[in-house]
Chain A
Amino acid sequence: EVQLVESGGGLVKPGGSQRLSCATSGFIFSNYSMNWVRQAPGKGLEWVSSISRLSTYKYYEDSVKGRFTISRDNAKNSLYLEMNSLRAEDTAVYYCARDLEPEWVPNSYFEYWGQGILVTVSS
């Protein structure tokens, strides 16, 4: 059974940093590109970042470029999102999601999702 479990959320002050982790199991992690998608309270879905299976390609939504860094550890079957210079508008539930197909570049259909982790940016 494919499982994705996010951790590392919580309350952080504006300008602060937070690191999210996504532990995975039930599939060959190194075969799939991975993604972060967020959802502000009561709002719609917003793609944040994607990383290819060997970390060769990384993509970011414009508002997080230069502040967020996506990474992965294939030996630990884990995905990460390092978030710096956090703003109130980064407050959201953050989901990690696995690509639908095992390809060399992110194909970005999100077949499996974690349960989500809330990050609240507030003073």
Chain B
Amino acid sequence: EVVLTQSPATLSLSPGERATLSCRASQSVSSYLAWYQQKPGQAPRLLIFDASNRATGIPARFSGSGSGTDFTLTISSLEPEDFAVYYCHQRSNWPRTFGQGTKLEIK
């Protein structure tokens, strides 16, 4: 099973700042990695797939990078609605796995 480890567990930033979230895989997942955003009481929302492709309707301030075992989600300038929990997810191997999440909170 591919274990995805996200860091940090919690990130405290202010609106307008840049956010950098990390996801490390226990083995190579090539570029088969996605990022999701989840707000309280809501279903997750697909942001990025194949490591760097934005899903439909996702603002350009969200970008993804990486391949192999190290991946990054960057939010260039935080908007108030961006404070949420973010999960990475791999589809390279069965079983599909998610990271434990990074909570992005307002400082």
Which of B43, B50, B99 has most A Cβ within 10 Å?
B43
Minimum CB distance partner of B87 in chain A: A45
Q: Chain B, interface size: which category?
A: 20 to 34
Known: A45-B87, A45-B89, A100-B49. A116 touches B43 (CB 8 A): yes
Is B96 within 8 A of A113, CB to CB? no
- CA separation between A100 and B99, bound complex, in Å? 19
Is B98 within 8 A of A45, CB to CB? yes
Q: Which of B14-52 contact A (CB under 8 A)?
A: 34, 36, 38, 43-46, 49-50
B54 touches A (CB below 8 Å): no
What are 24 of the A-B contact pairs (CB < 8 Å)?
A: A44-B87, A44-B100, A44-B101, A45-B98, A46-B98, A62-B1, A62-B95, A95-B43, A100-B46, A100-B55, A107-B91, A108-B91, A109-B46, A109-B91, A110-B34, A110-B36, A110-B46, A110-B89, A111-B46, A111-B55, A111-B56, A113-B43, A113-B44, A114-B43
Is A47 within 8 A of B98, CB to CB? yes
Partner of A47, one of B38, B43, B96, B101: B96
B residues touching A (Cβ–Cβ < 8 Å)? 1, 34, 36, 38, 43-46, 49-50, 55-56, 87, 89, 91, 94-101
Please indicate the chain B residues that have their CB under 8 angstroms from the CB of A62 in the complex: 1, 95
Query: How many residues of chain A have a CB within 8 Å of chain B?
Result: 21
Q: How far is the CB of B43 from chain A (nearest CB, A)?
A: 4
A residues touching B (Cβ–Cβ < 8 Å)? 37, 44-47, 50, 59-62, 95, 100, 107-111, 113-116
Known: A45-B87, A45-B89. A59 touches B44 (CB 8 A): no
Please indicate the chain A residues that have their CB under 8 angstroms from the CB of B38 in the complex: 45
Is A44 within 8 A of B99, CB to CB? yes
Please indicate the chain B residues that have their CB under 8 angstroms from the CB of A114 in the complex: 43
Given contact pairs A44-B87, A62-B95, A109-B49, a sample of 12 additional A-B residue pairs in the complex whose CB atoms are under 8 Å apart: A44-B100, A45-B98, A46-B98, A47-B95, A47-B96, A60-B95, A100-B49, A108-B96, A110-B34, A110-B46, A111-B56, A115-B43
